[in-house]
Amino acid sequence: MEPTGPPPPVEHSPIYQSLVGAGPRLRPLRQVHARMVVSGLHRSRSLLTKLLTLVIKTGPSGGAAAAYAGLLLHSVPNPDGFLFNSLIRVSSRSGDPLAALRLYRHMRQATLARCNYTFTSAVKACADLAALPTGREIHCHLLLDGLAGDVYVQTALVALYGKCGDLPAARAVFDGMPRRSLVTWNAMIAAYEQNGLAGEAVVVFRAMQADAAVEPDGATMVSLLAACAHLGDLRLGQWASSYIATKHLPVGAALAGALVSMYARCGCVDEAREVFDGLRRPNVVAWTAMISGYGMHGRGAEAVALFRMMSRRGPRPNTVTFVAVLAACAHAGLVVDGREAFESMQRDYGLLPREEHLVCMVDMLGRAGHLEEAFRFVRTAAAPPVAGAAMWTALVGACKLHRRFELGVEAAERLVAMESENAGNYVLLSNLCAMAGRTEAVEAARGEMARRGLRKVAGYSAVEVGGTAHVFRMGERRHPQAAEIYRFLEELEGRMREVGYSPETATVMHEVEEEEREIALRHHSEKLAVAFGIMSTAGGTAVRVVKNLRICGDCHAAVKLMSAVARREIIVRDKHRFHHFQGGSCSCGDFW
């Protein structure tokens, strides 16, 4: 007599086990599908769902897998919302956002009911593609479906708007949430940090700390450390490092790279190396961060040595690694090493030079005084217009450094022609014309800048004293100790003149008298910040200053002498690198 009762679950069938064994591999899955057809099981919803899920996992859309998945989906009798939700989620998580959105649109056309899982996956797909218009469209759909209040959907929206740079929209969703997960806080912090608003990222982190319902995790620390690196906030960065150790957070690839980068970009390159050496198996991000850190501090030989070590026994260098190596060579005058790295990039690793690599090469050749070779490189390099502009900018800086003013004017004029709406280009041109003694050209450049309504970026310098950041701009008078700062700076400059300081007034406006030019230089933001740092801290304490622009030649010469007469170490991080001033000299060797 035949056994009675319900058939065994499909999960126990040989066909299902064959699907599991095939895994996300297209050819074996086709073979199992053929067996399903032969055995008459090709109409089984459970088996087709499993087969579809595995096919989608095989790879990104656009190829045979996508076409095959489409055929399979049409063979499912009366597909329901559960099937579509499963497939959309799998597509989104498997790195195939296009397939996820295609399935989402198919689901809408079929007028199937959607849920929070549908929208969370669809919004994530939009974020992965940076598809802001589509994301806004889906946001409207979920509002109509009454799911705008779901915490998972809201978190996905914050991440979408943050990745696409629409911070007001991200903040509006964030502020409208009645409760926030840890993930939501991380998305908002990352949104600010990744869009260059490090200060706002720290503000949101502080608010997160006040929320007793959540606790920062490794992802929080990655964004926080990146913000600290951008701001040069060593104190907060050290707190984050201590928090990671105290909470025993796993130091994965992203967190390791963030720690190394934070210490390096906050002026503590030796501490960065300690973190790096403590990693069991540093990945390419950590290696690159450490090489970049050495380069930023003018320690080019150590950067090159670490790169060679990486080439022997580390992970395979990527394009970002080569940017770090070339920049380190440029800042240290290591032309031979830089040329070798540039050739190795293509010869040994098959990596094609991108904009950043070409700019680094021009910068390296120009800084080292090989101006004719740098000019030839710019003229012959196959680069998009934006790279061409960046290369000419590097060349202008080199001409200014080596006092080849007429050549610099030619380069600056080309730059202005390429980017006529960039205020900084007119400033470069007017400065070089001033140095070349071409007064009429100075007036013409400034007049064109005024006619176009362009204004140069305002410079500022920040110094931390007693746990508070003090920000100075040129001629700062709003600081509560302004009068005392100016008196102390005047005293410092008197002592500096005794050992040979003479203001470099060539680039200051030529329509004012020489005495007024000296006053303008004396009141530059970095001098005010350094003076305040020295007068407000105990002897022997290092003064750390962060500046948003490149330090000017006069301030560089002045701070060197300040370090000598005040007997202090002064560390200045400008737009491009660190300068460690001590005993009247700078770590850059006047090569910046």
**CATH classification at residue 431:** 1.25.40.10
Please indicate, yes or no, if residue 495 is contained in any of the structural domains: yes
- Residue 582 has phi, psi (to 5 degrees) of -160, 130
Of 124, 116, 134, nearest in space to 157 by CA:
124
Report the Cα 283 to chain-centroid distance in Å: 18
Please indicate, yes or no, if residue 68 is contained in any of the structural domains: no
Residues 430 and 533 in one domain: no
Please indicate, yes or no, if residue 473 is contained in any of the structural domains: yes
- What would the two tokens of residue 370 be? 């090989």
Range of the domain at 442: 353-456
pLDDT of residue 3: 46
pLDDT of residue 10: 59
pLDDT of residue 24: 74
Last residue of a domain, one of 456, 479, 511: 456
Distance of alpha carbon 331 from alpha carbon 341, whole angstroms = 15
**What mean pLDDT do residues 82-100 have?**
76
Of 263, 257, 209, nearest in space to 232 by CA:
263
- What would the two tokens of residue 163 be? 């990745």
Residue range 178-198, pLDDT digits in tens: 888 889 999 999 999 999 899
Please indicate, yes or no, if residue 406 is contained in any of the structural domains: yes
- Residue 543 has phi, psi (to 5 degrees) of -100, 125
Question: Is residue 41 very low, low, confident or very high in pLDDT (cuts 50, 70, 90)?
Answer: confident
Please indicate, yes or no, if residue 51 is contained in any of the structural domains: no
Please indicate, yes or no, if residue 506 is contained in any of the structural domains: yes
**H helix intervals, 381-476:** 385-401, 405-418, 423-435, 439-451
pLDDT of residue 585: 92
C-alpha gyration radius of the chain: 30
Distance of alpha carbon 49 from alpha carbon 296, whole angstroms = 53
- Residue 541 has phi, psi (to 5 degrees) of -80, 135
Of 589, 579, 581, nearest in space to 565 by CA:
581
Residue range 450-498, pLDDT digits in tens: 888 888 888 899 998 888 889 999 888 999 999 999 999 999 999 999 9
Please indicate, yes or no, if residue 378 is contained in any of the structural domains: yes
Last residue of a domain, one of 456, 485, 501: 456
Last residue of a domain, one of 456, 477, 496: 456
Report the Cα 219 to chain-centroid distance in Å: 16
Residues 448 and 480 in one domain: no
Residue range 307-359, pLDDT digits in tens: 999 999 999 999 999 999 999 999 999 999 999 999 999 999 999 999 899 99
